[in-house]
Chain A
Amino acid sequence: MLKVVDLHAGIENRPILKGFSLEVKPGEVHAIMGPNGSGKSTLSKVVAGDPHYEVTKGDVFFEGKSLLGLEPEERALLGIFLAFQYPVEIPGVNNASFLRMAYNARRRHAGQKESDPLEFDEFLREKLKTVQMNPGFINRSVNHGFSGGEKKRNEILQMAVLDPKLAILDETDSGLDIDALRIVAEGVNRLRRPDNAMVVITHYQRLLDYIVPDKVHILADGRIVRSGDKSLALELEKKGYDFVGVK
């Protein structure tokens, strides 16, 4: 589904990813761990097409097609979803209408009829349950004045609405208390299917107690230094990054 080949990328002439490769198949969950500054968030931004980042070498394929020439919205419409580490606040734009805009953009792309506000409201109420959110939540401005935990839950709500083929969760667990973490993880698990895939970026193995990965990769200085199954995360938790030769 996702294939990253020898990717070199950076921001403002500063190289961050230096030969990153990864292959994710349908139905798989991959966890990417690594110290601060190793390039985890850069990877998510480059796959999603953030124009601030520049790819200098290598390629990113989604379902066999290179993504690099595509605009961010085109990638999104192919079914790529990024749960942001720091979801941005958009004052004045109602959460429900934002979700409906995104949902209808996808439906238009798929040649389906757009959903009217009433239909969508019903659909949305169903989805709200996946993240155990209060319906009042959808009538507020997108992320505006939300707590850290609410912002992360809102990301998962959007993921549930958009039903992506590939979801990249960028430190979705950071800043969450244990209850919120459980709710978010349950929401994510409910969206797991044999025909979709997830890349979970995290600092801590505790998220992986809830979202159990098929593969774990350790990222250091812009490339994967070690891959394994979920036991690698446990080992990392015990021994720290030193054991893989990372400071």
Chain B
Amino acid sequence: MTMKSIEEFTSREYKYGFQTPIESDVFAKGLSEDTVRAISKLKNEPPFMLEFRLKAYRHWLTMKEPHWANVEYPALDYQDVIYYAAPKKKPEQLKSMEEVDPELKKTFEKLGIPLMEQKRLAGVAVDAIFDSVSVATSYKAKLLEIGVVFCSFSEAVEKYPDLVKKYVGTVVPYTDNFYAALNSAVFSDGSFVFIPKGVKCPMELSSYFRINTEGSGQFERTLIIAEEGSYVSYLEGCTAPKFDTNQLHAAVVELVALDDAEIKYSTVQNWFAGDPKTGRGGIYNFVTKRGACRGRKSKISWTQVETGSAITWKYPSCVLIGDDSVGEFYSVALTNHFQQADTGTKMIHIGKRTKSTIISKGISAGVSNNNYRGEVQMKESAEGARNFTQCDSLLIGAKCAANTFPVIDVRNPTATVEHEASTSKISDDQLFYFRQRGIGTEDAMSAIINGFCKDVFRELPGEFAVEATQLLGLKLEGSVG
């Protein structure tokens, strides 16, 4: 098979590119202290939240947009962004799922996320976030019976202000980086999860993010707290319509795991990636995700399948404070056409015998640019800590690029760090070998890519592994996947 046919093969229409015709409350473009106050007021927030936002905003004004990542884009105009957009019907007026705007229900159904509980995948609770607000959360009442809080961030600020106040900004302070500061100032909604001591959350919790309004940014904030001995598995999915202009998505996710608690956080990201031929449009996905293993033997595991966005800039990280705590990062990042990704993780070992595993699989096709950036730090206190990193790149075609930027910083002589890396290419010879055995090109690509990603896919919750496999297929045309 020639290069040309590989190219044809890797181009396919984005099928979630529709926009929902719905009346929205939309702020005028632009950002000022008034915008921040207006968002806070609209949400009826207590003073501590407004204060947090204002401090963040003022700090943000002193910061510069970072450009150390290996991605290229023109400077963003932060006054040309809509900071708040929400469907007209206020979610807090809803008494039950039946009252959700039919247009919204239709939208989520079209995306494969039915909001009606009886239709929902068995054992999965969903929080659906549309532009700036959460429009529906399923199974909320049922979860509350066992003490699990799963609701929108706005609702949490209202109903559980003490919990929010205690934890928000403690893992990702607003001073952390430019986009975290921006998010802390203008975040509009997101998911909140609290798992009390000793409770194993009986169902998968899932958030689905959808950007609908043209020109709007999405700044959601997610906070997950797992108390002593608890367990939760959480999954997020993302899509957006096709627009010619770039849209900013700057989220912050904070995870806190106390003694013996485990949080499993999975992402399947399929934001609009821009026009395949020109590269116009698409989402700038600039996200700060971090988990703190505060307790002894706590565990945080990130699994991500990144297939969309024009530019991805994210490094889900773990701060391993508690002795014997465990951090994991499993990632598949696929870039095609004009997409750029600079993604990876940070594992910061502070506690004794802390352990981390990093498995990163980058797939580049088209003229895309795929970078792994990782940092492993072994602090002086990290007696007997261990890290294992494996970082593999797969190239499809001859015009794409893959880079690896690992940083290893060891300050304790008893710590062990292992790093393995490989680069491979789907070759014409491999495809011909499959085809000579009667297996078509699409099935061949699918088998090779699934083989490449299987170490990551097996970390995803059951049915989502299938979804991820299919998604990679869609992204690489035809039945790949």
Q: Contacts A101-B439, A101-B443 given: A93-B451 contact, CB under 8 Å?
A: yes
Q: Is the CB of B438 within 8 A of A48?
A: no
Let me know if A91 is at the binding interface, CB within 8 A.
yes
Q: Is the CB of B433 within 8 A of A88?
A: yes
What per-residue 1/0 map shows which CB atoms of A43-76 lie under 8 Å from chain B?
0000011111000000000000000000111011
Q: Is the CB of B451 within 8 A of A90?
A: yes
What per-residue 1/0 map shows which CB atoms of B441-479 lie under 8 Å from chain A?
101000110111010000000000000000000000000
Q: Contacts A51-B1, A52-B428, A90-B430 given: A76-B451 contact, CB under 8 Å?
A: no
Q: Determine the distance from Cα of A150 to Cα of B432 in the docked complex, in whole angstroms.
A: 20
In the complex, what's the smallest C-beta–C-beta distance from B220 to chain A, in angstroms? 35
Task: Name B235-287 residues within 8 Å CB distance of A.
Answer: none
Let me know if B2 is at the binding interface, CB within 8 A.
yes
Contacts of A48 in B (CB 8 A): 436
Q: Is the CB of A98 within 8 A of B436?
A: no
Task: Name B410-441 residues within 8 Å CB distance of A.
Answer: 424, 427-430, 432-441
Q: Is the CB of A98 within 8 A of B447?
A: yes
Q: Chain B binding site: helix, strand, loop or mixed by DSSP?
A: helix
Q: Contacts A73-B439, A105-B439, A162-B438 given: A91-B432 contact, CB under 8 Å?
A: no
Let me know if A84 is at the binding interface, CB within 8 A.
yes
Select from chain A the residue with minimum beta-carbon distance to B451.
A92
Let me know if A106 is at the binding interface, CB within 8 A.
yes
Select from chain A the residue with minimum beta-carbon distance to B427.
A88
Which of B435, B438, B452, B454 has the most chain A CB atoms inside 10 A of its CB?
B438
What per-residue 1/0 map shows which CB atoms of A79-116 lie under 8 Å from chain B?
00110100110111110011001100110010000000
Q: Is the CB of A71 within 8 A of B435?
A: yes
Task: Count residues of A near B (Cβ-Cβ below 8 Å).
Answer: 31
Q: Determine the distance from Cα of A246 to Cα of B450 in the docked complex, in whole angstroms.
A: 49
Q: Determine the distance from Cα of A72 to Cα of B424 in the docked complex, in whole angstroms.
A: 24
Q: Determine the distance from Cα of A109 to Cα of B440 in the docked complex, in whole angstroms.
A: 12
In the complex, what's the smallest C-beta–C-beta distance from A130 to chain B, in angstroms? 17
What per-residue 1/0 map shows which CB atoms of B319-345 lie under 8 Å from chain A?
000000000000000000000000000
Task: Name B1-23 residues within 8 Å CB distance of A.
Answer: 1-2
In the complex, what's the smallest C-beta–C-beta distance from B7 to chain A, in angstroms? 14
In the complex, what's the smallest C-beta–C-beta distance from B5 to chain A, in angstroms? 8
Q: Determine the distance from Cα of A51 to Cα of B427 in the docked complex, in whole angstroms.
A: 13
Q: Determine the distance from Cα of A94 to Cα of B436 in the docked complex, in whole angstroms.
A: 17
Select from chain A the residue with minimum beta-carbon distance to B454.
A92
Q: Is the CB of B2 within 8 A of A76?
A: no
In the complex, what's the smallest C-beta–C-beta distance from A227 to chain B, in angstroms? 27
Q: Is the CB of A92 within 8 A of B452?
A: yes
Q: Is the CB of B451 within 8 A of A73?
A: no
Select from chain B the residue with minimum beta-carbon distance to A142.
B433
Contacts of A92 in B (CB 8 A): 448, 450-452, 454
Task: Name B369-427 residues within 8 Å CB distance of A.
Answer: 424, 427
Q: Is the CB of B1 within 8 A of A109?
A: no
Q: Is the CB of B437 within 8 A of A162?
A: yes
Q: Is the CB of A84 within 8 A of B433?
A: yes
Contacts of B428 in A (CB 8 A): 51-52
In the complex, what's the smallest C-beta–C-beta distance from A72 to chain B, in angstroms? 4
A102 interface neighbour in B2, B430, B437, Cβ under 8 Å: B437
Let me know if A1 is at the binding interface, CB within 8 A.
no
Select from chain B the residue with minimum beta-carbon distance to A80.
B436
Which of A51, A87, A92 has the most chain B CB atoms inside 10 A of its CB?
A92
Q: Is the CB of B439 within 8 A of A102?
A: yes
Q: Is the CB of A72 within 8 A of B448?
A: no
What per-residue 1/0 map shows which CB atoms of A156-176 lie under 8 Å from chain B?
001000100000000000000
In the complex, what's the smallest C-beta–C-beta distance from A45 to chain B, in angstroms? 9
Let me know if A236 is at the binding interface, CB within 8 A.
no
Q: Determine the distance from Cα of A84 to Cα of B432 in the docked complex, in whole angstroms.
A: 11
Contacts of A77 in B (CB 8 A): 438
Task: Name A136-150 residues within 8 Å CB distance of B.
Answer: 141
Q: Contacts A50-B432, A51-B2 given: A91-B438 contact, CB under 8 Å?
A: no
Contacts of A109 in B (CB 8 A): 438
In the complex, what's the smallest C-beta–C-beta distance from B109 to chain A, in angstroms? 32
Q: Is the CB of A76 within 8 A of B427?
A: no
Contacts of A71 in B (CB 8 A): 435
Q: Is the CB of A88 within 8 A of B451?
A: no
Q: Is the CB of A105 within 8 A of B438?
A: yes
In the complex, what's the smallest C-beta–C-beta distance from B370 to chain A, in angstroms? 18
Q: Is the CB of B437 within 8 A of A76?
A: yes
Q: Determine the distance from Cα of A87 to Cα of B440 in the docked complex, in whole angstroms.
A: 18
Q: Determine the distance from Cα of A87 to Cα of B428 in the docked complex, in whole angstroms.
A: 13
Contacts of B430 in A (CB 8 A): 88, 90
Select from chain A the residue with minimum beta-carbon distance to B433.
A88
In the complex, what's the smallest C-beta–C-beta distance from B175 to chain A, in angstroms? 42
Contacts of A106 in B (CB 8 A): 438
Q: Contacts A88-B429, A90-B430 given: A82-B451 contact, CB under 8 Å?
A: no
Which of A87, A94, A105, A109 has the most chain B CB atoms inside 10 A of its CB?
A105
Contacts of B432 in A (CB 8 A): 50-51, 72
Q: Is the CB of A101 within 8 A of B435?
A: no
Select from chain B the residue with minimum beta-carbon distance to A72.
B435
Contacts of A76 in B (CB 8 A): 435-438
A101 interface neighbour in B1, B424, B447, B452, Cβ under 8 Å: B447
Q: Contacts A51-B2, A52-B428 given: A91-B436 contact, CB under 8 Å?
A: no
Q: Is the CB of A91 within 8 A of B451?
A: yes
Q: 8 pairs across A/B with beta carbons < 8 Å?
A: A51-B1, A81-B436, A92-B452, A93-B448, A94-B451, A101-B443, A105-B437, A109-B438
Q: Supply 13 further A-B pairs (C-beta < 8 A) apart from A76-B436, A92-B452, A98-B447.
A: A51-B1, A51-B2, A51-B428, A82-B436, A84-B436, A88-B427, A90-B448, A91-B451, A93-B447, A102-B438, A102-B439, A106-B438, A162-B438
The 10 lowest CB-CB distance pairs between A and B, nearest first, are: A92-B451, A102-B437, A76-B438, A72-B435, A105-B438, A93-B451, A73-B435, A77-B438, A88-B433, A88-B429
